[in-house]
Amino acid sequence: MTLIISPLKKLQHPMYNIYSPIKFLADVKAFTLYLYNEKQDAFHPDDSFEDYINMDDHERSFSSEEAQTLNSRMEECFDVCQKENVDIYDYMMQFSPIHSLMN
């Protein structure tokens, strides 16, 4: 499946380093904000970052290396949320720009 994403206005978010492992819910939040605000308008936790296509130039949104790193971080998000008994989909959605417009 190929996902086409269009750019939205970028919002403020905490500094985030994609090479730092995700160990806590605060890390999941920072990763989510990073994705929504710097990388994608929308994403789904189940989708591989290798499948995202930039709508402007129809090129892959992420290099193979970056996609692999982001996929690893997302796996860590799943692990942390499971350990904390938190629904990853609900948790990540609350930080979505679209969600914030609806509330």
In a domain, 69, yes or no: yes
Q: Does residue 40 carry a pLDDT above 60?
A: yes
What are the pLDDT digits (tens) for 83-95? 999 999 999 999 8
> Among 49, 73, 43, which residue's Cα sits nearest to residue 63?
49
Per the structure, the count of domains in the chain is 1
This prediction has a pTM of 0.79
In a domain, 56, yes or no: yes
Q: Which domain holds residue 70?
A: 3-8+19-102
In a domain, 28, yes or no: yes
Least confident of 10-19, 53-62, 72-81: 10-19
In a domain, 13, yes or no: no
In a domain, 89, yes or no: yes
Residues ≥6 apart with Cβ < 8 Å to 13? 30, 33, 34, 36, 37, 38
In a domain, 63, yes or no: yes
pLDDT at position 14? 52
